[in-house]
Amino acid sequence: MQLRPYQSQAVAAVYEHLRTRDDNPCVVIPTGGGKTPVIATICRDAVCYWGGRVVLLAHVKELLEQAADKLRVIAPDVPMGIYSAGLKRKDLGYAVTVAGIQSIWKKACDLGPVDLIIVDEAHMIPADDDGMYRQFIADAKVVNPNVRVIGLTATPYRLKSGAICAPPPHNILNQICYEVGVRELIVQGFLSPLKTKAGLQKISTDDLHVRAGEFVASEVEDLMDKDGLVEGACGEIAEHTKDRSATLIFSSGIRHGQHIVDVLKTKHGIECGFVTGDTPDGVRAAILGRFRSGELKYLCNVNVLTTGFDAPHIDCVALVRPTMSPGLYYQMVGRGFRLNPGKKDCLVLDFGGNVLRHGPVDAIRIATDDRGDGEAPAKECPNCQALIAAGYQTCPECGHQFPEPNRQQHEAKASTEGILSGQTTREEYRVSETTYHVHMKRSDPSAPLTMRVEYRVGFNRYFREWVCFDHTGYARTKAEAWWRARSVEPVPGSTEEAVEMAKAGALAPTLSITVEKKAGDQFERVAQHLLGHKPQRLDSEDGLPDHTPEPAGMTYGIPDEEIPF
């Protein structure tokens, strides 16, 4: 397989960095630009030329499959194993191990000494906590203190903490050794050209609250899920995509996405598939198969088809949601970057003001606070709705002349916090997904493990509670009562057993939660639960079947102060 010129340059830059510096490099290549051939080439060279051993880490099984396939093409003779519960493989002892981080994060010592750790989608490495990536790398350094880490990403920044590269010792990745931009690859013919239009109906996010650097998800869905906005967006999608091959729609939540699907069908006679995090694997695979084959032209999703989803024929991306995250904005738009025979360009329909908020996708502005400041990095032509860089005085699409920009001030927003300390508010939320995780207290690794239960409400808002199976006394008694209220299975003896059984389906579903907040307190508390029926006993002999790795983005960065013990 012949590498493209910029891919060869990226490989050479990595080797130069490893030779001349003692820290860890990062490569930045846009979505669709081909990071996987770079990874496979480095793996091949490390094994064949230097007799090294490599482990490749990723957080979704689609990325693992892509890496394994490319390595088989580039280096068919290199011994390669796969370690991933989702792919039902747990291979050890190979020169190259392609591994899911959720499956292997405690197994670094079992792998034996490795020389290179390559992290795909390296922006998933948490900024400052002892998450899975950091734990695995720390353990690998115990086995081989000279192990080096190489990161690859399309988005070298995080939502809250900015750039993913910083000087050692506190940061894992330290310098971008090679970067190629979206515009450069479009000009060279390696990525699809982009066209962008704003929705005719405007929204205002001024009244939305921001939590952890992102709009509060339930408020976003309430804002976007209005009949007029949905019908207007669907009308524009239908109009602009008559001659398009495949349209991928990002909605603001499950209710909002179903509304979009219904309006497209009833008002425009358009069949639109719909996938969420709750869609069963078999149903999801069937829908994605129809979309990839061209049988299904429209597909709506709730933030599940970002990283790792590859459908090169997508020539329209509709953002029917706002986001404060430049990385999420980039990943959504990036679904249309890939080339495909007969594809002239990709149209981005932005109904959430994202281009105006973050700038053109090849020049994203990283804000330094929750709302950003300064001038907007892009602007909309009032004549043709094209979204263009802020510096244009004449619209390149229609020739409209812009007046001198006006600077506007935004007034402060009121808080919903109780006005008196100790004042309590309670609110009930419908739960769309419940997930279970083993939690290790980073400030005291010797402390007993706990089960972290995360309740997703709305699109991407979470509440958490901790169940203490490994504790004694009152905490253990409370955990036993919690379990018996949800399951006919015997109470687990440990946190890890409880998580395994929960993921295997031993617990009743949580339909809704009531959350209590006292003014002045930092965190909310889950005070009540509305539960569904208890499931029957597990079918397997030991009650602990294999499970799919937990979703990315839900295992890191939980502050110790939030844990109530």
Within-domain flag for 366:
yes
pLDDT of 247:
97
If one counts the domains in the chain, the total is 3
Is 271 a domain residue?
yes
Contacts made by residues 235-243, CB under 8 angstroms, sequence distance 24+: 235/267, 235/268, 236/199, 236/200, 236/349, 236/351, 237/264, 237/298, 237/316, 237/318, 237/349, 238/264, 238/268, 238/270, 240/197, 240/316, 240/347, 240/349, 241/297, 241/298, 241/316, 241/347
Q: Which amino acid is at 277?
A: G
C-alpha dist (Å) from residue 531 to 80, 487, 513: 45, 11, 9
Mark whether 170 and 234 lie in a shared domain. Answer: no
Q: Same structural domain for residues 157 and 264?
A: no
Same domain, residue pair 367 and 307:
yes
Residue where a domain terminates, one of 129, 156, 184 = 184
Residue 400 belongs to some domain of the structure: no
**Alpha-carbon span 2 to 268, nearest angstrom:** 45
353 and 472 together in one domain: no
pLDDT at 237: 95
Residue 398 maps to a domain: no
* 419 occurs within a structural domain: no
Q: Which residue has the tokens 């508010």?
A: 425
Residue 257: the pLDDT is: 96
What lies within 8 Å, CB to CB, of 416 at 6+ separation is 209
Backbone angles phi, psi at 83, to 5 degrees: -125, 95
DSSP code, position 123: G
Are 502 and 361 within one domain?
Answer: no
Same domain, 52 and 105: yes
Whether residue 197 sits in one domain with residue 157: no
Distance, CA of 245 to CA of 249 (rounded, Å): 13
The pLDDT value given to residue 463: 87
Regions of the chain short of the pLDDT cut 70? 127-130, 158-162, 363, 365-424, 443, 458-460, 518-522, 539-565
User: Comparing C-alpha atoms, which of 119, 348, 368 is closest to residue 244?
Assistant: 348
Q: What DSSP element (H or E) covers 104?
A: helix 101-104
Mapped onto helix, strand or coil, the DSSP state of residue 220 is helix
Spatial distance between the Cα atoms of 315 and 298, rounded to a whole number of angstroms: 11
Query: What does each C-alpha distance from 85 to 7, 90, 103, 112, 120 come to in angstroms?
Result: 31, 7, 6, 20, 18
What is the structure's pLDDT at 426?
79
Q: Is residue 410 assigned to a domain? A: no
Are 266 and 372 contained in the same domain?
A: yes
Q: Which domain holds residue 544?
A: 424-562
DSSP 247: E
- Return d(Cα 190, Cα 186) in angstroms, integer: 6
Residues 144 and 81 in one domain: yes
pLDDT digits (tens, 9 = 90+) for 296-353: 999 999 988 877 788 999 999 999 999 988 888 888 998 999 999 999 999 999 999 8
**Please, are residues 59 and 151 in contact by the beta-carbon 8 Å criterion?**
no
Q: What share of the chain is helix, strand, coil (3-state, %, to 5)?
A: 30, 20, 50
Which phi and psi angles does 162 have, rounded to 5°? 80, -140
Residue closest to 553 by CA, chosen among 328, 317, 318, 249: 328
What is the C-alpha separation between 237 and 232, in angstroms, rounded? Answer: 9
Q: Is residue 394 part of a domain?
A: no
How many CA atoms lie less than 13 Å away from 177 in the CB half-sphere?
A: 26
Boundary of a domain, candidates 124, 150, 184: 184
What crossing angle do the helices spanning 35-48 and 5-20 adopt, rounded to 10°?
50
Strand partners, 512: 430, 530
**Does 168 lie in the same domain as 201?**
no
Question: Which tens digits make up the pLDDT trace of 396-411?
Answer: 455 566 665 443 333 2
pLDDT at position 554 is 32
Residue 557: inside a domain: yes
Burial of 50 (0-12, 13-18, 19+ CB in 10 A): exposed
CB atoms within 10 A of CB 125: 25
- Final residue of a domain: which of 151, 184, 217? 184
**Residue 122: which CATH number?**
3.40.50.300
Residues 23 and 79 in one domain: yes
- What's the farthest any 2 CA atoms get from each other in the chain? 74
pLDDT given for residue 166 in this prediction: 85
Task: Give the pairing of strands 157-158 and 175-179.
Answer: unpaired
Q: Are residues 228 and 141 in the same domain?
A: no
